[in-house]
Chain A
Amino acid sequence: MPELTFKNLSKSFGSHVVIDAFNATIEDGEFLVLLGPSGCGKSTLLRMIAGLSEITSGELLFDGDRANDWHPRQRGVAFVFQSYALYPHMTVRANIAFPLVMDAFKKWYHLPIVNAVARRRLMKSPDIAARTENIARQLELDSLLDRRPASLSGGQRQRVALARALVRNPSLYLLDEPLSNLDAKLRTQMRSEISALHHKVGKTFVYVTHDQVEAMTMATRIIVMNKGEVQQIDTPEGIYNNPANTFVARFVGAPPMNLVPVTRKGRRLATSNAQAWNHDGELPDGERLIFGVRPEKLQFLARGQGRMPAQVAVVERLGAETVIGCRLVSDEHGGTTNLVENDLVFVRISGNPRTKINEQCSLDYRAEDVVWFDAHTQTRIPVRAAAPALV
């Protein structure tokens, strides 16, 4: 527990609607990632789960119970903020122990001088002290227990925030872009630490990020959001291989999926500058389509060998592999195609070929690697895969 259910959840600030009729279920023990660009509402959603933001309409259910009006403490959640939100004037030990101390506080303990005395006494109590040190040791913070947050590095502060979340043994972990303030190397390290933590603890994690790499590597399921609306709820593989619409297709994967608007006539596909080729395999109905294929699925060939003639525009050498950006060229006119959002079709190949800019080339693909989208609605059109040849 708990299983989280969102029923028509909406959030508005005055007349400005941030989240509109959100429906989803989060299973127990999942690592669920809310993925989307800035301002898509993912942080707001997380805060509504925590009880930090009010729900405008709709229902939030914890194991079937309506939790809209529950105090955060009643929800048994732990929240890790993007800025860690550590208490600057307290030591690491006091920060980690704070939730435990608060649970032990009586109402009148909060009075000005009383609270200092009560806190000191409670922190020395064997139970709280033991749990604090235990958690600190697990996250390798035991040498830092008496320091203040200001003297810690970003990664260390991150771990203190995690420790403070862990120490209360919550049933639900909420993390709001916890790695976005760290440098790339630290981010990679912390990613695996958080995943390991999830495996160890076995509780539900809801994780907000705009970084699709984090989402793809850590999630059991991803909810992709844009402008307050759900774009797709699926496993990472599903998101990657069967994106529900062009937004998801381009948001996940680097470089993003290539999307070419084409007009279909029979088996012939034509781009806007009259480059055309024949497609083998199943085609969806409809005349205006978007032809989508991932860079690593394209084949980079010499001119004349592939169905799509092209010219190299940019070469990015990444060591073990190379990304080549090409412009599709029309045989007839020699002009170049305007593609969705981008002039270039990207191909990813392994190794380090001696490709030069402006080199003539051609691209090809396999029919089963193509993802089709409706040019008007931008949503994916599912197509039966071509039956494997029986011969």
Chain B
Amino acid sequence: MTSTIALSIFRYVLIAALVAFAGFPIYWMASTALSANSELYSTGQVPWPQLQKLPELISAMAGVPIGRWLFNTFLIACGTTVLSLLLGSLAGYALSRFRFRGRGLVGFLLFMTQVVPEALILVPLYAMFITLGLLNNLMGLVLANVGFSLPVAAFILKSAMDSIPYEIEESAIIDNCPRFGILSMIVLPLIMPSVAAAAVIAFFAGWNEFLFASTFLMDRSLWPTSVGLASFIGQYETPLSAVMGAALLFSVPAIVFFLLIQRQIVAGLTAGAVKG
């Protein structure tokens, strides 16, 4: 009896420790945002969030072009999502429904994209974009991002499509619906949760992306939030609280969405790693 009580206590202590480890940085982000610079650097940071400092935070953040940055981030993320879903659904459908020669090869190629480090194609893409005039261009950034999100979307959608009875599609063929129409009108509506998961993964791949953005975008007005925030590292003009406030704004949508469809995201990412 005592061992089970001890076990329970141990378990709760463990959970508390894990939660503290996981949550503390975010908590601290909030706390830092609500602190005055003097506290942060001289007198010592106050360990609890000082909500009364909220108006000061807001006025401090006026100096940060967070609005512009978030807008750019949003554009990039949307572009990545749309293109990834478009191309990913085509690939997923082909892999799911057709038994064509080279099917295994395509599966392998898609898997390869998950292994290639972004840094590896950074330079050739840079050179290519110079020639194509896609440097310093949000569209170019989207094009670079999609290469990595497309295969994930394809695998997620393929798995979902596999579970749709093929007879429904045959019925549509008899009803004079062409293949593409079947994909857009019948198959995709039936796998909406997976489409949503693929969309969220692609969206936040674009949202979080830093390497390509910092390399390909010269104009400050084109900076997404990731690059903008990174530019604060090492400089001390902007108050740290404002920086943290911006970082929080940047993080909250990601946290919210990941919490909402965590299950599908995990299923999707693990599906993408299994070949075929």
A85 to B165, Cβ gap below 8 A? yes
* Cα distance, A109 to B184, chains bound together (Å): 11
- Chain B contributes a number of interface residues (CB within 8 A of A) equal to 20
Q: Is A300's beta carbon under 8 Å from chain B?
A: no
Contacts of B168 in A (CB 8 A): 85-88
Contacts of B165 in A (CB 8 A): 83, 85
- Chain A contributes a number of interface residues (CB within 8 A of B) equal to 28
Q: Given that A87-B186, A112-B184 are contacting pairs, would A102 and B171 also be in contact in the complex, using a CB cutoff of 8 Å?
A: no
B176 to A102, Cβ gap below 8 A? yes
* Cα distance, A89 to B195, chains bound together (Å): 15
Task: List the 3 closest pairs (A to B, CB-CB), nearest first.
Answer: A110-B181, A85-B171, A85-B167
B174 to A78, Cβ gap below 8 A? yes
Q: Is A111's beta carbon under 8 Å from chain B?
A: yes
B170, B176, B181, B184 — which one has the most chain A CB atoms within 10 A of its CB? B176
B190 to A88, Cβ gap below 8 A? yes
Known contacts A81-B170, A89-B189, A102-B172; can you find 14 more A-B pairs with CB under 8 A? Answer: A72-B176, A77-B174, A78-B174, A83-B165, A85-B167, A87-B171, A89-B186, A89-B190, A102-B175, A103-B176, A109-B181, A110-B180, A112-B184, A164-B171
* Cα distance, A115 to B178, chains bound together (Å): 12
Contacts of B170 in A (CB 8 A): 52, 79, 81, 85
* Cα distance, A83 to B170, chains bound together (Å): 12
Contacts of A88 in B (CB 8 A): 168, 190
| A-B residue pairs in contact (CB < 8 Å), sample of 20 | A52-B170, A73-B176, A81-B167, A83-B167, A85-B165, A85-B168, A85-B170, A89-B190, A98-B177, A99-B175, A99-B176, A102-B175, A102-B181, A103-B176, A109-B181, A110-B178, A110-B180, A110-B185, A112-B184, A164-B171
B165, B172, B175 — which one has the most chain A CB atoms within 10 A of its CB? B175
Q: Chain B: interface secondary structure?
A: helix
Interface residues of B (CB under 8 A from A): 165, 167-168, 170-178, 180-181, 184-186, 188-190
Interface residues of A (CB under 8 A from B): 50, 52, 72-73, 77-79, 81, 83, 85-89, 98-99, 102-103, 105, 107, 109-112, 115, 119, 164, 168
**Taking CB as reference atom, which chain A residue is nearest B164?**
A88
Name the one of B171, B184, B189 contacting A81, with C-beta atoms under 8 angstroms: B171
Contacts of A73 in B (CB 8 A): 174, 176
**Taking CB as reference atom, which chain A residue is nearest B177?**
A102
Q: Given that A81-B167, A87-B186, A110-B185 are contacting pairs, would A50 and B178 also be in contact in the complex, using a CB cutoff of 8 Å?
A: no
* Cα distance, A115 to B180, chains bound together (Å): 11
A79 to B190, Cβ gap below 8 A? no
* Cα distance, A167 to B186, chains bound together (Å): 20
Contacts of A107 in B (CB 8 A): 178
Q: Given that A85-B165, A89-B189 are contacting pairs, would A115 and B171 also be in contact in the complex, using a CB cutoff of 8 Å?
A: no
Whole-angstrom distance from the CB of B179 to the nearest CB of chain A?
9
* Cα distance, A170 to B188, chains bound together (Å): 28
Whole-angstrom distance from the CB of A234 to the nearest CB of chain B?
30
Whole-angstrom distance from the CB of B11 to the nearest CB of chain A?
42
**Taking CB as reference atom, which chain B residue is nearest A89?**
B189
Contacts of A110 in B (CB 8 A): 178, 180-181, 184-185
Contacts of A78 in B (CB 8 A): 174
B184 to A111, Cβ gap below 8 A? yes
Contacts of B176 in A (CB 8 A): 72-73, 99, 102-103
